[in-house]
Chains A and B, each alone.
Chain A
Amino acid sequence: MSSRARILQRLRDRTDGALVPPESDFSVMTGRGWGVQERLERFERLISSVHAEVIHTRQASWTETLAEVLTAKAVRRLALGHEHPVPAEARAALHEHEVDLVDANRDIEAWQREQFETVDAGLTSTGGAIAETGSLWLWPTPDEPRLTSLVPPLHIAVLDAETIEDTFFDVVEAHEWSQGMPTNALLISGPSKTADIEQTLAYGVHGPRELVVLIRHREEST
């Protein structure tokens, strides 16, 4: 008999008999009832408290803000995709800028060392954010691969203000994540950090040292 069969049989032939699964009440996870402004404030307060930098901008002019960030952070090489509107608009706007645009949508085997050693920043879109914990959520795609938000020392994430929801539970339910998960789904709440040396907080251990969140507002809401 295989190990699988033995383990399952032991579990099924339980000495004290079959167990009755209880019903679950999830109400503590939802129904925060926050307004748009409150969600935005909470998100900003929490993600800032773990060292992320939040910059507000407008839908129409966000690429100008991006260019300012790149200049301020002395970014020379920026990794980004092509097809998603966020990298597409960034590319269109940045071709005059002195930054080198690095194609993120290439097989990593062809440029691993280049990515680890020469890219200063990665730009990605986000699926939305969570007010309760100050978290971004991302579903990486072939156009915006997983490592773009991890390997470069600076991660710039673009977030639309109206996509901030109350709780993680609300996001999972509202977007029906259980109907089909991507290869990799991520919550990101700040730059990489550790407290393993005598509980002293240090940022930028394995992943990005800095996280910049560009929050895009529609004209009427700002």
Chain B
Amino acid sequence: MSVQTYTPREFHRQAHDALGNPQIRANFRKAMDGLMSKRRDVFSDWDLDALRELGANIRQRALARLPELLEQLEANCQANGIRVHWAQDGDEACRIIRELCEARDAKSVIKGKSMVSEEMHLNTHLEGAGIEALESDLGEYLVQLNEQTPSHIIMPAIHLNTDEISEIMHDKTGTERTRDVDYMTAAARAQLRERFMAADVGISGVNFAVAETGTLCLVENEGNGRMTTTVPPVHIAVTGIEKVVEHLRDVPPLYALLTRSATGQHVTTYFNMISGPRKPDEHDGPEEVHLVLVDNGRSSIYQDDELLDTLRCIRCGACMNHCPVYTRVGGHTYGTTYPGPIGKILMPHMMGLAETRDLPSASSLCGACGEVCPVKIPIPDLLVRLRKESVGEGRGNVPGAGVKRHRSEVLAWKGFQWLATHPGVWRSAMAIAGKLRGWMPTRLGGWTDYRSTPKPAKTSLHALVKRHRREEGSS
């Protein structure tokens, strides 16, 4: 299998390639159809509106108190024996984590799933320092074996089917070629158990960080998260600053929304709540626990009342599962850590609109993402906002604002505006266009790639109606 790198700059080319790949389209179509129906079923006996309202409200409350809650989280974590570190960007977070590893002379790191660590390219950074970082979530492990990045934030290997996975495992780990999923799962279990025992450091993400008690909550099915946070002598948790919630009682509603929205499960196998390192009388668990709080653009999003809603996200992936664009082009096409609708409203802040110029417009604004979002993020409105920012018609507070502004486009719209508000000139222009219709060019850039050339009518509708009325009057 060839290893390809993706970039948001090449979105259109990548989308074109993905649309022409029947394997990719079949894998995503099948998976997303299943996820949509499972989500619908699992919420059937809930007052979903009330639950989403509560979810949005809890996240909004946390954001309203964000600076105080971060300080409270830090104080309570420290009181529990968890050391807290702050990073303004991904590079600083990578450096902090590398130094923590080096302080323990660590050579081998085992990782639980963490999208923030993907966002800051932690594995590459650690490998550059001679520290091996191995993913332990089965999907992440497969993607890493295949030298790829995740194509979905919850199901990282969703772009691969059973045969492809069998081939990857055979190539990289020497297992038999098979369609037996239990055999492949057991093989990965055996391979990774050795690595859990040998790892010097475990690195995980965080789903919710509770300010009130200094507790880090992790949601998972496999048990690799519990292994990562319990077996190695050091546990480093890394998370975005927006993941904090105020109270412990805020956690059950968000957890209820997360698992049901993500995979249609009532609950995951494990909900792991960590409030400190091993105590002197305890017999297992890490000796050290660290929490790395990463900003990486989040405090910029935080400045603006409308953009703020982006930070309510609990990373369930429901928006991508329900997105007609994501389902057809797959996760890699976006070329960003977070794909799909949430990626389209988040990545422009992290990478700038110059890099991500095609993302906010890669949407039909059908509204499905906003309808299913468990914390009611108005994703379509935010897409429109980012489109405005990219052509310089917004508030100018997104990096790269105005990058898509072209003088010719601005002039064209200004001209149209003038024409359309001057009826006399408009009618003459339409009459002339009708006369010149034979001169219409046959190729009009992107428009004619998939469509026939539009041709002005010989007589405008306006003129036709006028004539019709005249004839009616005379008869």
Question: CB within 8 Å of B: which residues of A?
Answer: 2-4, 6-8, 10-12, 14-16, 19-29, 46, 50, 104-108, 112-113, 116, 132-135, 141-142, 145-147, 150, 167-169, 172-173, 177-178, 180-200, 202, 204-208
Contacts and interface: CB of A to CB of B under 8 A. Distances in A.
A169 B252 contact: yes
Using C-beta atoms within 8 Å of the partner chain, give the interface range for chain B. Answer: 35 or more
B6 interface: no
B86 A189 contact: no
Given A46-B266, A150-B227, 20 more contacts: A3-B86, A3-B88, A3-B295, A7-B70, A7-B295, A8-B71, A14-B303, A23-B57, A106-B283, A145-B285, A181-B213, A182-B275, A186-B226, A186-B270, A186-B271, A189-B268, A196-B138, A205-B223, A206-B193, A207-B222
Nearest to B397: A15
Contacts of B362: none
Given A3-B86, A199-B34, A22 B189 contact: no
A108 B302 contact: no
6 contacts: A7-B70, A16-B308, A21-B61, A21-B64, A107-B284, A196-B139
Interface stretch (B178-186, B368-376, B450-458): B178-186
A198 B215 contact: no
A22 B376 CA distance: 15
B269 A50 contact: yes
A163 B283 CA distance: 27
B88 A14 contact: no
A27 B53 CA distance: 12
B91 to A, nearest CB: 11
Contact of B197 (A107, A112, A183, A184): A112
B20 interface: no
Nearest to B35: A199
Contacts of B263: 195
A60 to B, nearest CB: 31
Contacts of B281: 142
B249 interface: yes
A28 B284 contact: no
A206 B267 CA distance: 18
B222 A193 contact: yes
B285 A184 contact: yes
A12 B63 CA distance: 11
Given A150-B227, A183-B282, A207-B222, A26 B249 contact: yes
